[in-house]
């Protein structure tokens, strides 16, 4: 019985396999022959000594770091979660680099929208500092301190930031679906860097555009009497040919129907005049007064006399009897082919509720628990541009969890089933702050509490609407089916004890060596580690009982996980009757060696394709 692989998806191996698929003739004894590959690529290889490139100290190391597998896992925390058994939302505490690696197998090519608001590298706190040798150890060290300074006097000021972002964006790109989009908030400090990074990782041709977000009406601080009242949002697609934004609603507020026109509401449309020929300079005659109207001197009508007659006969061209004006050309609401227009390159915060005010409304008891949160309106604006209502949204710099709040709001407004995945490093809060004194010892505690409060607020609003209008109104979202919960997971080392070959076996040590699950870990912990390794982390789990032994059915029976002890051949046969695709046992869980040896043979005979153990 083979052991399961306890590593995350090996991206280096994946990339090599892609090359082998495209160019099988460059494979020699299972290895890539790069000399052959260069010959096949021919002139596409740029081997000039001097060429345009974007590089910095540590770039290659960042690439290797992103591609190196992770041996960590995500530990479920039911006590921190809300609606564990029914929710499809995730909140993950941990270093986002390691977490993104863990999510590769399950979410590779499945995320339709990513929004991030990364550290702006202002010369203050800079908590993300990766360690190529042992990132889990590094992560645990980071969470014991509040911050790492990255002052502008540091010679690696930009380099540190680039190394931090590059590896994470590489992993993020893998997670995007073919029609996925990433939105990145940034300010002036790394404006040039983020574009160069994204051009290289996502491709220049996949840049959708850069939006200017006017987020202040009154400047805060000014340098040289010049103040920034905006930030930027970069938008890149996984594949630009698959992206068409939904657009935004046009403003029809000025469309009225004062004359009860049977064609509906309308607005006055100025008759257009342009350059043209003399034949297009004709009079339009008022039938009531016989007055003649010409285009301005040197201009000509942009329509024909025949068209004028048609407009007059249909009522589109009107000469008001009670107005001392010339004719009116009606533009009907019904003539507008689409209610939508393209989104613009400027987003004005003054039109929406400010993020800080929004946060303080939820946290009136500790209004300053989080500085400068993004407004949900910004995230909803982007979410509304993504086609469909059932996609997954990822934010791996979650902060105050604005993105989670926004996703729930969107679903409550249009009945969608969008899911969120929030990832946040549990940065410690300062002990002098009101947040710390209120029990929020790290940033994750604030984010989770925001989701709880916001989710409950939204549900109460839905209940109010239901009671007011009744369920006969199809536009009312059922509060009971609305998902305002989230499962919490925490990054940690693997649940599995590694075999220690240096230990001398005797009567006292033999049993400690056979127990594969760490003493402080539960079966549920191990179950979700197995689900991560198998790429079914997003699938439903059901507890089942076989011969009074507890087991887990994952993805509606696709995978059966058995972590109980004293497993017999009779138990194995009952598992086989469920026709799973995969079965996982605990190596030390069998009643005896014979049952363990016969388990694989028995299950294969019953049609199970893969049998492994931990």
Residue 124 has pLDDT above 90, yes or no: no
* Sequence-distant (≥ 6) Cβ neighbours of residue 112 within 8 angstroms: 176, 177, 179, 180, 181, 386, 388, 391, 392, 393
- CB-count exposure of residue 345 (10 Å: 0-12, 13-18, 19+): exposed
- Same domain (yes/no): 517, 475: no
Q: Are the C-beta atoms of 87 and 541 separated by less than 8 Å?
A: no
Element (H, E) at 39: helix 34-41
Tokens 């032994």 found at: 549
Question: Model confidence at 506, in pLDDT bands (50, 70, 90)?
Answer: very low
The Cα-based distances of 179 to 54, 112, 420 in angstroms read 27, 7, 17
Residue 213 lies in a domain: no
Q: Which residue has the higher pLDDT, 10 or 381?
A: 381
- Same domain (yes/no): 477, 519: no
Q: Please state, in angstroms and rounded to a whole number, the distance separating the CA atoms of residues 307 and 603.
A: 80
The two structure tokens encoding residue 214? 């006017």
Q: Please state, in angstroms and rounded to a whole number, the distance separating the CA atoms of residues 362 and 378.
A: 18
Residue 503 lies in a domain: yes
Residue 401 has pLDDT above 70, yes or no: yes
pLDDT for 564 equals: 95
Domain of residue 11: give its range: 2-44
Q: Please state, in angstroms and rounded to a whole number, the distance separating the CA atoms of residues 393 and 403.
A: 8
pLDDT for 448 equals: 98
Question: Model confidence at 502, in pLDDT bands (50, 70, 90)?
Answer: very low
Percent of the chain at pLDDT exceeding 90: 56
pLDDT for 351 equals: 46
Residue 501 has pLDDT above 50, yes or no: no
* Sequence-distant (≥ 6) Cβ neighbours of residue 504 within 8 angstroms: none
- Same domain (yes/no): 456, 511: no
- Same domain (yes/no): 484, 510: no
- Same domain (yes/no): 578, 512: yes
In our burial notation (b when 16+ CB lie closer than 10 A, e otherwise), range 437-471 reads ebebebbbbbbbbbbbebbebbbeebeebbeeeee
- Same domain (yes/no): 605, 509: yes
- Same domain (yes/no): 476, 500: no
Q: Please state, in angstroms and rounded to a whole number, the distance separating the CA atoms of residues 403 and 552.
A: 32
Residue 418 has pLDDT above 90, yes or no: yes
Residue 277 lies in a domain: yes
Percent of the chain at pLDDT exceeding 70: 84
The model's pLDDT over 154-207, given as tens digits with 9 standing for 90+, comes to 556 678 899 999 999 999 999 999 999 999 999 988 899 999 999 999 999 999
- Same domain (yes/no): 575, 475: no
Question: Model confidence at 40, in pLDDT bands (50, 70, 90)?
Answer: low
The two structure tokens encoding residue 393? 């949204």
For residue 130, give the nearest of 102, 168, 103 by alpha carbon.
168
Element (H, E) at 576: helix 569-577
Q: Are the C-beta atoms of 448 and 485 separated by less than 8 Å?
A: no
Residue 275 lies in a domain: yes
Question: Model confidence at 507, in pLDDT bands (50, 70, 90)?
Answer: very low
Residue 222 lies in a domain: no
- Same domain (yes/no): 96, 164: yes
Residue 504 lies in a domain: yes
Residue 373 lies in a domain: yes
Domain count, the chain: 4
- Same domain (yes/no): 368, 477: yes
The model's pLDDT over 60-103, given as tens digits with 9 standing for 90+, comes to 999 899 988 888 999 999 999 999 999 999 999 999 999 999 99
Residue 354 lies in a domain: no
- Same domain (yes/no): 382, 301: no
Residue 532 has pLDDT above 80, yes or no: yes
- Same domain (yes/no): 21, 139: no
Q: Please state, in angstroms and rounded to a whole number, the distance separating the CA atoms of residues 503 and 518.
A: 17
pLDDT for 208 equals: 97
The model's pLDDT over 542-601, given as tens digits with 9 standing for 90+, comes to 999 999 999 999 999 999 999 999 999 999 999 999 999 999 999 889 999 899 999 999
Which of 489, 515, 546 is where one domain is finished?
489
Point out which residues pair with 93 in neighbouring strands. Answer: 424, 490
């Amino acid at each position: 019985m083979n052991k399961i692989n306890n590593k995350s998806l090996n991206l280096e191996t994946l990339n090599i396999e892609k090359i082998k698929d495209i160019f099988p003739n460059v494979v020699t004894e299972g290895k890539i022959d790069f000399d052959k590959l260069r010959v096949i690529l021919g002139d596409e290889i740029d081997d000039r000594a001097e060429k345009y490139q974007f590089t910095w100290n540590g770039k290659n190391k960042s690439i290797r770091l992103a591609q190196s597998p992770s041996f960590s896992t995500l530990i479920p925390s039911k006590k921190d979660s809300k609606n564990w058994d029914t929710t499809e939302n995730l909140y993950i505490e941990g270093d986002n680099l390691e977490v993104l690696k863990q999510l590769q197998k399950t979410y590779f090519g499945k995320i339709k929208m990513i929004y991030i608001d990364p550290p702006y590298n202002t010369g203050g706190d800079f908590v993300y500092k990766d360690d190529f040798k042992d990132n889990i150890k590094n992560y645990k060290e980071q969470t014991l301190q509040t911050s790492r300074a990255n002052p502008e006097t540091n010679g690696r000021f930009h380099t540190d930031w680039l190394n931090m972002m590059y590896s994470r964006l590489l992993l993020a790109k893998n997670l995007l679906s073919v029609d996925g989009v990433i939105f990145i908030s940034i300010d002036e400090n790394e404006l040039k860097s983020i574009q160069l990074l994204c051009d290289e990782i996502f491709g220049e041709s996949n840049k959708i555009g850069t939006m200017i977000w006017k987020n202040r009406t009154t400047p805060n601080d000014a340098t040289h009497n010049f103040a920034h009242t905006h930030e930027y949002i970069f938008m890149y697609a996984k594949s630009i040919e698959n992206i068409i934004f939904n657009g935004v609603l046009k403003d029809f507020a000025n469309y009225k129907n004062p004359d009860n026109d049977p064609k509906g509401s309308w607005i006055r449309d100025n008759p257009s005049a342009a350059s043209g020929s003399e034949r297009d300079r004709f009079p339009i005659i008022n039938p009531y007064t016989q007055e003649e109207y010409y285009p301005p001197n040197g201009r000509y009508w942009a329509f024909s006399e025949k068209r004028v007659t048609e407009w007059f006969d249909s009522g589109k061209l009107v000469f008001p009897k009670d107005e001392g004006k010339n004719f009116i050309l009606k533009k009907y609401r019904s003539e507008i082919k689409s209610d939508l227009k393209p989104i613009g390159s400027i987003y004005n915060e003054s039109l929406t509720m400010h993020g800080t005010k929004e946060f303080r409304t939820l946290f009136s008891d500790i209004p300053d628990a989080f500085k400068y949160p993004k407004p949900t309106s910004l995230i909803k604006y982007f979410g509304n541009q993504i086609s469909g209502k059932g996609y997954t949204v990822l934010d791996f710099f979650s902060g105050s969890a604005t993105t989670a709040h926004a996703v729930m709001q969107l679903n409550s407004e249009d009945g969608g089933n969008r899911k969120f995945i929030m990832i946040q490093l549990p940065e410690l809060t300062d002990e002098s702050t009101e947040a710390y004194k209120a029990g929020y010892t790290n940033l994750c505690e604030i984010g989770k509490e925001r989701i709880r409060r916001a989710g409950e607020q939204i549900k109460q609003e839905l209940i109010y609407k239901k009671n007011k209008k009744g369920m006969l109104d199809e536009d009312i979202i059922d509060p009971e089916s609305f998902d305002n919960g989230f499962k919490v997971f925490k990054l940690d080392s693997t649940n599995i004890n590694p075999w220690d070959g240096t230990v001398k076996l005797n009567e006292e040590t033999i049993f400690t060596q056979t127990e594969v699950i760490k003493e402080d870990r539960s079966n549920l912990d191990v179950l979700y580690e197995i689900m991560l390794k198998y790429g079914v982390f997003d699938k439903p789990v059901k507890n089942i009982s076989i011969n009074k032994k507890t087991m887990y059915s994952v993805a509606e029976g696709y995978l059966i996980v058995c972590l109980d002890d004293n497993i017999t051949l009779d138990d194995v046969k009952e598992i086989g009757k469920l026709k799973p695709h995969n079965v996982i046992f605990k190596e030390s869980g069998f009643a005896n060696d014979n049952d363990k040896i016969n388990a694989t043979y028995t299950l294969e005979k019953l049609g199970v394709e893969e049998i492994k153990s931990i």
